[in-house]
Structure 1
Amino acid sequence: MKRNLLYLLTLSVLSSCTIIRQGEVGVKRRLGKLDPNVKGSGVHGYNPLTTTILRVPIRTINLPLAVENLPSKEGLNISAEMAVLYRIVPEKAPQVLATIGERYENVVVVSVFRSAAADVCARFFAKDMYTGQREEIEREIADEMHKVLEPRGIVVESVLMKSIELPKGLAQSIEQKLEAEQQAQQMDFVLQKERKEADRKVIEAKGIADAQKIISEGLTKQIIEFKSIEAFRQLATSPNTKVIVTDGKTPMLISSADDK
């Protein structure tokens, strides 16, 4: 008898306790009324006859979404694989459950996303979703969602466009256009490089011409005679046999047979 009572007591104690794990909070609902104070991770006791504890995840949730018929600025329909990263503000978990319910993801997150994505994509051309402006589209969709969901206790961290499916033929034409633009940019680079090289050669030629002009203007009769004397002096000290024919002004060398 005592063993049965002990078993029943243990079962009663265990059934009146719950464990809230990390990454979630607990919200008590007693007689249909939600407690505004959330329960953090750990063990919490409650009366199972009158109270239940609802678990609400507060970690970042990755919600994948397939979107079809997104309108573009030129009126085309785009299909995309996207994802929404969002989380619940811990202290607002009771508000989320009270105003939206436990199916808040389908009720508001998905609906708000589809509306924001259609509104933002309609302001961009189809090629923008395929090129570098994708990040801007992602950011604007996230901002639109955040404006609606943040006051209700849901924070949208980011929106990711994982893949884009453009109308048939459009993707190929965009790739060809991008390739042509890259080739044009490469040609501009080559032309700019050639212009710089031409400018360098002009500057170099001008420098040589200026140097020659300075040298020619500085070669006076006295300097030439002085250089001739220096040349005679260096030849006189040379160990090789030399024959010097001169008019006294300009030397002319005749190498000896031994030097050949």
Structure 2
Amino acid sequence: MFNRPSSFKSTAIKTIVFTMLVGIGLSGCTNPNTPAGQEGYVFEKPRIFGSGGYRGSLTGPSNYGVSLWRNEIINIDMRPNTYTENFKILANDDLNISFNFHAVIAIKSGTVKQVVEQFGAENWYKRFVRETFRTYVRDEVQKYDSVELKENRSNIADSVANKLKDYLIDSPFQINNIVVGNINYPEIVAKAVEKKLAAQQLLSEKETQKEIARKDAEIRIEEAKGIAEAQKIINTTLTANYLQHEAISAQRHMADSPNHTTVYIPVGTNGLPLIKGAR
């Protein structure tokens, strides 16, 4: 039987071991990547070798590169996102009001390490912002009676936004906008609001009608003043000479007409025709 040299066997064993090690090594390689709009926190979980922990940050879209160590990544969305909270709160007049608040919050660029290590990574909103945000909303809403909420929604939103900005000033997070959503009143309040709006509308209509009537009265007064003034002028100008002048002018005009056959005999005072009064 042919026996292979022991050196050949040793080389074969080494080759097999090397191949296995390469396979194991390659299977442990990773290439962490971060999509657009996000930042990545690259870290290594400790294995047999290596200290583990934070390795670096990525700004998407990008890759960390192939690594012999099993690096992993936590990607955090840095873009502004809307966070909605629903409420059912007793207003200042002890009526239960349902509504929602919308907060648009973004994460400051380059802060992914701080977000992951200090604020709970993907859970940063629930851990650090949510309850404080809800507390500020409750505090502001309870300052108003239920019927005043809709009229003051912008004031409430501004106040909550300012408080939240102060709270987050030293954090990686920034408030872009705060908006009060739909406000739903209990049925009794909704009916009261409807009646109030209807009464205001009716009052507005009455004021409009009153203004129209006042303008009409002013017009009639001015017309009456004009008529009275005209009558006064006529009465002061209707003298005997003026009437004689008007009568002669009328007679002359009729006499010049080719179809006129009436003869006027000036037998009255100052040459005016006599006019027989009606019985």
Matching residue's letter, 1:189: T
In the alignment, does 2:33 pair up with 1:18? Answer: yes
Q: Deviations over 1:193-251 (max 9, x none)?
A: 21222122212222332233234334444444433343334323435435254644369
Q: Deviations over 1:21-44 (max 9, x none)?
A: 1x3334455753485xx6444323
- 1:32 is aligned to 53
CA distance in 2, matches of 1:250, 1:52: 127
TM-score, L = length of structure 2: 0.69
CA distance in 1, matches of 2:171, 2:188: 43
Percent identity, aligned pairs only? Answer: 23
Matching residue's letter, 1:105: Y
CA distance in 2, matches of 1:242, 1:63: 103
CA distance in 1, matches of 2:165, 2:55: 25
What's the offset of the Cα at 1:179? Answer: 1.6
What's the offset of the Cα at 1:115? Answer: 0.7
- Seen in structure 2, the aligned counterparts of structure 1 residues 157 and 221 have a Cα distance that, compared at 3 Å, is farther
Alignment of 1:47-126 (within 5 A): 48=67, 49=69, 52-68=72-88, 70-102=89-121, 103-126=123-146
SS at structure 1 position matched to 2:262:
strand
SS at structure 2 position matched to 1:78:
strand
Q: Which runs of 5+ in 2 are unaligned?
A: 1-18, 45-51
- Contact residue 161 and residue 175 of structure 2 kept, 8 A: yes
What's the offset of the Cα at 1:114? Answer: 0.8
Which of the pair is proportionally richer in strand? Answer: 1
Matching residue's letter, 1:106: K
- 2:4 is aligned to none
- 1:205 is aligned to 224
SS at structure 1 position matched to 2:87:
strand
CA distance in 1, matches of 2:272, 2:179: 89
Q: Which runs of 5+ in 1 are unaligned?
A: 253-260
- Contact residue 74 and residue 126 of structure 1 kept, 8 A: yes
Matching residue's letter, 1:178: L
What's the offset of the Cα at 1:142? Answer: 2.6
Matching residue's letter, 2:209: V
What's the offset of the Cα at 1:127? Answer: 0.8
- 1:226 is aligned to 245
CA distance in 1, matches of 2:110, 2:194: 48
- Seen in structure 2, the aligned counterparts of structure 1 residues 189 and 45 have a Cα distance that, compared at 3 Å, is same
CA distance in 1, matches of 2:183, 2:238: 76
Q: Deviations over 1:126-160 (max 9, x none)?
A: 0122x433333333333332232244232323333
SS at structure 1 position matched to 2:257:
coil
- Contact residue 34 and residue 94 of structure 1 kept, 8 A: no
Q: Which has the larger radius of gyration?
A: 2
- Contact residue 99 and residue 182 of structure 2 kept, 8 A: yes
CA distance in 1, matches of 2:243, 2:70: 119
Mean CA deviation greater in 217-226 or 132-141: 217-226
2:152 paired residue among 109, 127, 133? 133
- Seen in structure 2, the aligned counterparts of structure 1 residues 96 and 222 have a Cα distance that, compared at 3 Å, is farther
SS at structure 2 position matched to 1:243:
coil
- Contact residue 232 and residue 251 of structure 1 kept, 8 A: no
In the alignment, does 2:263 pair up with 1:249? Answer: no
